[in-house]
């Protein structure tokens, strides 16, 4: 089986949960202090051994392309003003990855967004990383999934247990444990009511697929929200070949939610030189109010 060399990052969503700021700024570009969310996602893909990254964009997402592109005027300004530290930082960003962009012309759902990358994937296994999930671990989450794909020659999705009140926000799986933290999926349901969910184990924003997922996406009718749901395509795929779910190791931040976004910022600040002590002092003041 071919190695996973390519990754797809869907970043075409409208970001309605963060309006009004996402009216003019892609949600993937929201900063974790001074680094946008999507930077962490691209970094994870590269650290997992991915060589080729396809970002699925949409209207109003040009800022993502600009962020990873060269910036000659800015670089000239930094160089002429002796700001070598910032110059190096900007140049490293533009050189960090081989990026390609495909526009999803209509917001038809996550499944439809992934389908846009079919020609570029060219029949290879590939990773999918959602552009608003940050997952931190010394062994990247995507690398964990790639290892399972190489062992099992099968698709695998990252999952975690979610609180009952959050079940209806996730694709929920049921399955049989075949190895520690590894389950062969029996069923997967998109955003079920809590009383109808097969478990409380939800799919999060990391996947590794065999190329057969594209055939399933083409056959998938519109589902929840009138969109083509990736979960529904996975449900078709698992009827044709084994599909696994893995309880990944790491700390996940759902930056598409206000709380997850704040948690990511606070944890980043606590690790940043010059901010930790001041932040802890301020938090102590807040707790005493």
Question: What's the CA gap between 97 and 95, in Å, rounded?
Answer: 6
Ordered DSSP codes for 128-172: EE-TTEEEE-SS-HHHHHHHHHHHHSSEEEEEEE--GGGGGGSEE
What are the domain boundaries of the chain? 6-256, 258-289
Percent of the chain with pLDDT over 90: 66
| Cβ proximity of 27 and 35 under 8 Å | no
Tell me the DSSP string of 252-278.
EEETTSHHHHHHHHHHHHHTSTTTHHH
| pLDDT higher than threshold 90 for residue 165 | no
Note the CATH number of domain 6-256: 3.90.550.10
Tens digit of each residue's pLDDT (9 = 90 or more) over 115-135: 999 999 989 999 999 988 999
Question: What gap in Å lies between CA 163 and CA 186, rounded to an integer?
Answer: 21
Each residue of 79-109: pLDDT tens digit? 999 999 888 988 888 888 879 999 988 878 8
């Amino acid at each position: 089986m071919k190695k996973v060399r390519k990754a797809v990052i869907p970043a075409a969503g409208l970001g309605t949960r963060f309006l009004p700021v996402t009216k003019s700024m892609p949600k993937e570009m929201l900063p974790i202090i001074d680094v946008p969310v999507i930077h962490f996602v691209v970094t994870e893909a590269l650290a997992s051994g991915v060589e080729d990254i396809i970002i699925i964009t949409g209207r109003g997402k040009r800022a993502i392309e600009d962020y990873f592109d060269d910036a000659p005027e800015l670089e000239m300004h930094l160089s002429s003003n002796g700001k070598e530290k910032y110059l190096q930082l900007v140049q490293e960003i533009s050189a960090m990855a081989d990026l390609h962009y495909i526009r999803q012309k209509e917001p038809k759902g996550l499944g439809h967004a992934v389908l846009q990358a079919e020609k570029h994937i060219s029949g290879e296994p590939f990773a999918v990383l959602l552009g608003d999930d940050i997952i931190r671990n010394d062994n990247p989450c995507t690398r964990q999934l790639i290892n399972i794909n190489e062992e099992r020659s099968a698709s695998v999705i990252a999952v975690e247990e979610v609180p009952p009140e959050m079940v209806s926000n996730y694709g929920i799986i049921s399955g049989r444990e075949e190895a520690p933290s590894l389950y062969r999926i029996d069923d997967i349901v998109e955003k079920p009511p809590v009383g109808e969910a097969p478990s409380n184990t939800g799919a999060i924003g990391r996947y590794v697929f065999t190329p057969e997922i594209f055939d399933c996406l083409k056959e998938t009718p519109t589902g929840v929200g009138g969109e083509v749901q990736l979960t529904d395509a996975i449900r078709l795929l698992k009827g044709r070949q084994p599909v696994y779910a893995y309880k990944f190791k790491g700390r996940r931040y759902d930056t598409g939610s206000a709380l997850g976004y704040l948690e990511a910022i606070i944890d980043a600040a606590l690790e940043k030189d010059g901010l930790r002590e001041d932040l802890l002092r301020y938090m102590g003041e807040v707790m005493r109010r």
